[in-house]
Amino acid sequence: MDSDYLNKSNIFPLNQHRAADQMESWDQEIKKPNPIQSYLLMLIALLLFIFSIDMLTVSMRNLNSSVSEELFSATQNPFISLFIGLLMTALIQSSSTVTASIVAVVASGSISLQQAVPMVMGANIGTTLTSTLVSFSFIMKKKEFKRALSAGILHDVFNIFTVLLLLPLELYFQILSKSAVFLAGFFTSNEPSSNSYITNTVFTRPLTEWVNDAIGIPFLTTLVAVFLVFAAIKLLATSVYKTFVQDSFRDINKIVFKKTGMALIYGIFFTAAVQSSTVTTSLIVPLVANRKVSLKKVFPFIIGANIGTTITAAIAAVYKSEAAIALAIVHFLFNTIGAIVILSIPPLRVLPVRLALYMGKKSVKTRFLGFAYILLTFFIIPFLLIYFSTN
**Averaged over 197-223, what is the pLDDT?**
73
pLDDT tops 90 at residue 97: no
* Residue-level pLDDT at 361: 87
* Residue-level pLDDT at 171: 92
* Residue-level pLDDT at 173: 92
pLDDT tops 90 at residue 348: no
- Cβ pair 56, 101 in contact under 8 A: yes
Q: Is 176 a domain residue?
A: yes
The tens digit of pLDDT for each residue in 273-310 reads 776 777 777 778 888 888 888 888 899 999 998 898 88
Q: How many domains does the chain have?
A: 1
- Cβ pair 114, 321 in contact under 8 A: no
Side-chain half-sphere CA neighbours of 95 within 13 A: 30
pLDDT tops 50 at residue 29: no
- Cβ pair 212, 56 in contact under 8 A: no
Identify residue 137 by its one-letter amino acid code. Answer: S
Nearest to 116 by CA among 100, 94, 92: 100
Local confidence band at 106 (pLDDT 50, 70, 90 cut-offs)? confident
Q: Is 309 a domain residue?
A: yes
Write out the residue range of the structural domain in which residue 384 sits. Answer: 36-389
* Residue-level pLDDT at 24: 44
Identity of the highest mean pLDDT range in 107-116, 117-126, 244-253? 117-126
pLDDT tops 60 at residue 197: no
Neighbours of 317 (CB within 10 A): 26
Q: Is 225 a domain residue?
A: yes
Q: Is 13 a domain residue?
A: no
Identify residue 222 by its one-letter amino acid code. Answer: T
Q: Is 222 a domain residue?
A: yes
**Averaged over 380-384, what is the pLDDT?**
84
Q: Which residue has the higher pLDDT, 367 or 270?
A: 270
Q: Is 31 a domain residue?
A: no
* Residue-level pLDDT at 250: 55
Q: Which residue has the higher pLDDT, 110 or 203?
A: 110
pLDDT tops 70 at residue 390: no
Q: Is 91 a domain residue?
A: yes
The tens digit of pLDDT for each residue in 112-129 reads 899 999 999 999 998 888
What values do phi and psi take at 247, rounded to 5? -70, -35
Residues 166, 170: Cα–Cα separation, whole Å: 6
Average pLDDT, the chain: 77
- Cβ pair 353, 296 in contact under 8 A: yes
The tens digit of pLDDT for each residue in 323-343 reads 888 988 999 999 999 999 998
Secondary structure (3-state) at 203: coil
Maximum Cα–Cα distance for the chain, whole Å?
96
Q: What are the CB-based long-range contacts (under 8 Å, 24+) for 205-212?
A: 205/54, 205/58, 207/51, 208/51, 208/54, 208/55, 208/58, 209/58, 211/55, 212/55, 212/58, 212/59, 212/62
Q: What is the pTM of this model?
A: 0.73
Q: Which residue has the higher pLDDT, 13 or 224?
A: 224
- List of residues 6+ apart from 156 with CB closer than 8 A: 125, 128, 132, 377
**Averaged over 232-244, what is the pLDDT?**
67
* Residue-level pLDDT at 227: 82
- Cβ pair 124, 157 in contact under 8 A: no
* Residue-level pLDDT at 280: 77
pLDDT tops 80 at residue 237: no
- Cβ pair 117, 179 in contact under 8 A: no
Q: Is 251 a domain residue?
A: yes
